[in-house]
Amino acid sequence: MSLKYLAIDEEGFPLFGEIRVADAEIGHHLLSQVKFAPNGSFQTELDGETYVVEAFDEPYVIKNVQFKGGDLVDGLLPYGLVKTFSLQTLSVDEWDRFHGYFQSEDPSRKIPFVLSRAAQAELFQRLDAFDDESITYEQITYPIPSYWDDRKDIQDAAYWTKIYQTETPGWEMNRPTPALVDMLPRLKLPKLRVLVLGCGSGNDAAYFAQEGHVVTAVDVSPEALQRAQAKYGHLNIQWVEQDLFRFAQENQNSYDLIFEHTCFCAINPSRRNDLVKSWINLLTPGGFVLAILFTMERRSGPPFGGSEWEYRERLKKYFRFLFWGRWKNSIDRREGKELLIYAQKK
């Protein structure tokens, strides 16, 4: 049975096709039924049918706020939907946007939201005080932590090598990712110098090599590269054991295309902008990035989540987007959580 999909735009309105839902009753129902799917994506239902939700930002975007007393606030959403959150759930991202969770006795309906700029301005007008790390309302101070967990330990080779040695990595598919296999022939690329950062056991790098490209595959874990070479040592691939940020410093303007898959989600989120700048340094003028990025709610990791809103903000200064779309033929555990981007360096 084919799945049905429902996009939610960056202002929080569900879309049928590319058109916002005009019927307030239907829109209200679609938003009120949003919940987590078993695989961690979002879903909703209408007339007995389940829809995979593809939210551009958070599934809920608060338009206005109304204080109820204590730490409780009503968030007003499109179509007149009202949901309550606690000031204690708030966190802040690097664009100074407030995120949080609505109250629910059902964990599957503890859905994240983001405050619109207008709603955030309303909230700040009601506060007694605020600074970079907290807000104070009715003489009670609430800490506002960073949106992302800080995981500096995952930068070490030992962290990743231990995973390879003690478990089957969750990202291991033992084949190239289906999105790459589907998309690459459509692009009809000439022979390119392709770089795969965080190559793991080499499945994607091997596919590029088999398609005739000149491939360099980089990983910080010697265990990952040993596995890659055991499987694909017969292919013409340059395997490099090195920290990707150091590699970027030493190999500027060297590659025509960078393939991103399960590397962006694996680094400390505080270094995501550094990774984007590394892509710029590594690419030749007019070079390309082909990326499969996770769109999911996961603030601690790895893998860390992300949103289309975030990826657009990080990339738009440096890249011209040639293709941007959700991948709709994912394996079950990734269904509703993969975004495919093909972009050219400006």
pLDDT one-digit tens code per residue, 249-261: 999 999 999 999 9
Domain that holds residue 215: 152-345
Which residues lie closer than 8 Å to 187 by C-beta, 6 or more apart?
290, 342
- Radius of gyration over every alpha carbon of the chain, rounded to an integer in angstroms: 22
Provide the b/e sequence for 108-138 (b: ≥16 CB within 10 Å): ebebbbbbbeebbebbeeeeeeeeeeebebe
Tens-digit pLDDT profile for residues 170-199: 888 899 999 999 999 999 999 999 999 999
Q: What is the CATH classification number for the domain harbouring 206?
A: 3.40.50.150
306 and 263 in a single domain? The answer is yes
137 and 259 in a single domain? The answer is no
pTM of the model: 0.95
317 and 247 in a single domain? The answer is yes
Tens-digit pLDDT profile for residues 123-173: 999 999 999 899 999 999 999 999 999 998 898 889 998 988 888 788 888
Domain count, the chain: 3
Residue 126 in tokens: 């009601």
Domain boundary among 143, 171, 193: 143
24 and 95 in a single domain? The answer is no
Supply the mean pLDDT for the chain. Answer: 95
* Strand order from edge to edge, sheet including 98-101: 60-62, 112-115, 98-101, 91-92
250 and 176 in a single domain? The answer is yes
pLDDT at res. 168: 78
45 and 78 in a single domain? The answer is no
Residue 177 in tokens: 């990712």
* Strand order from edge to edge, sheet including 72-76: 64-69, 72-76, 82-86
Please, what is the end-to-end C-alpha distance for the chain in angstroms?
A: 41
138 and 179 in a single domain? The answer is no
Q: Is 258 helix (H, G, I), strand (E, B) or coil?
A: strand
Domain boundary among 114, 143, 172: 143
Which residues lie closer than 8 Å to 171 by C-beta, 6 or more apart?
200, 262, 266, 303
227 and 160 in a single domain? The answer is yes
156 and 30 in a single domain? The answer is no
DSSP 8-state class, residue 304: P
**Would you tell me how many other CB atoms lie within 10 Å of the CB of residue 344?**
15
Domain boundary among 143, 174, 196: 143
172 and 138 in a single domain? The answer is no
156 and 240 in a single domain? The answer is yes
258 and 117 in a single domain? The answer is no
Please name every residue paired with 109 in a beta bridge, in sequence order, or none if there are none: none
